A and B are shown apart, each in its own frame.
Chain A
Amino acid sequence: MSGAPPPALSPRLNRLAPLVIFALLALAPLVAHALGAGHWVSLLTRVMILAIAALSLDLILGLGGMVSFGHAAFVGIGAYMAGILVHEGIGDLLVTVPVVLVCCAFYGAFTGAISLRTQGVAFIMITLAFGQMAYFFAQALYRYGGDDGLTLNARSTLAGFAVLNNKLVFFYIVLAVLVASFLLIRGLAGSRFGRALTGCRDNATRMASLGYDVLRIRLTAFVISGMIAGVAGILLANHTEFVSPAYIAWQRSGEFIFMVIIGGLGSLWGAIAGAAAFLLIEEGLSGVTEHWKAIFGPLIILFVLFTRGGIAGFVARLTNRNGGGHD
């Protein structure tokens, strides 16, 4: 990061912003229903699912300073396990969730233990390589569709009940998972562990000389982040009722990084806003022209160039000016 540091987010803003975001999301289906725009519920469900993944990435990227280019692999593991378990007739969340958490923890511990021995560009390249290995592995799963992907003939059940089949119930389940992930990660950020993680981001040499095991701290964050992304994967597979190797492609990992940066690194609630902005702009532009990427790309570049601290930093500057903030 170059230049002046992004504006500090006041504690008040950090308390209020997530409340506003979650309240808006909770009311969104009612508004959509009133306006007769039912498809918005599905779009917002997708936004929230990818926001969970972006939020989990913010734990290691924003708070931990680890630029992982393989985050989509965790989402892919969650999505594939959900799809495979449904395909094999044991698609209950009571089975799926523990299986995915364990798989993501092992995958995260294995790839993290290797990649976290490096830093900077080498770390990016190794996480990218692991991501691509996961991608080609998924392509080779012929029993589960290989290249073409796997269509789910049903959604996962919860203790035998097909609760995810109801659009609205699914929406609120995803919202609950999003809120829980946010509270979990914010709790971690404020804990002793979180402070040590920030220390390792800023100055690993100093942390080692204070007696901290830097690798262990980073690896723990990496594994937790991956497990949360895996949960996002389960929801994603159930939402689209389809999984394919494209979920794991490196472009997807890049999109998660964009979401976090657009939102404002390390701000957590910014990652949710970033995911929403990314997907809604994408949706809006793709409705206007089929060459929407030609507009979207430059838009992102301009955004990153001209807003320090992303959406969170932008909101912080606005509220500081208007609300008479004290810092």
Chain B
Amino acid sequence: MSDDRAHSPSRILPREQGAAPLDLVIAVMAFLAALALGASFLTERAAMSWRLGLSNRMTVQIVPPPKGDTDSMMANETAAVLRVLGDWPGIVHAHALTQDETDRLVEPWLGKNALIPELPLPRLIDATTSPSASVDLSGLARALARAAPHAVLDDHSRWIGRLKALADTIIWSAYGILALIAIATAAIVSFATRAGLEAHHDMVQLLHQMGAQSGFIARAFEWHHFLSALLAGLIGAGASALLFVFAGGLESVGIEAVPFLPPLALRANELLWLLAVPASAALIALVTARLSVLSALREIY
């Protein structure tokens, strides 16, 4: 007589009318959270590449004097600097940048057709140090000052320190934004659950009267909000992932990113990490709804 296939237990809690705005808010939250998470990945990757690019490197600048025979003075001082660097313990390679290489360095800021030859650009000497050696930087600075009075030694430590501080600030700001979004999501779900309890007061009373444990009633609400938040979170994080993929596509067709800023494309494993956003949103919704319902049920006799 009975055909189990004909009946599947319906959801105890009906799909709420007017739940779309809540889903929309959670989707927007998930979108912003995924953007913040993606930004933290990009910044961390950029900071790593900056550090790798500048560690074990130092630069000597020979600043052109305001007057006099600039070209011959700079050539002499360049040769003197290369000699000092070549003899200095711990330095494995030193190379004076050609005029073309220097022009290319300033090109992103000044453009190709700028009057670069007219500008008093310094000569740059790039030196590579041995990773295992400890270089006496203060001694080297003194030796360079004696051999070439217009030479300035830059070991990039200040620059690396600032970049690291900037990257850390961005990353921790992203984490802060994620935390704020999580709190806001919990507050919204808590409010929605309370509203749901009010809207379904008669149903909750009935279940309570029929001997349902608080956990049974809470499960009806928590799964409802879990599934809603999961779906909304997937939509929001998915939109964010599409945005990152689109930005990566722009770079691949030659639309350049701003110099020094990291590329905006996320790698595949980083895109997968964005799935943590809907999972977290669903988990936050589940826990918040459960706690809200249990708290409200304690007020019923």
Are A and B bound to each other? no
> Which of B's residues lie within 8 Å of A, judged by CB?
none
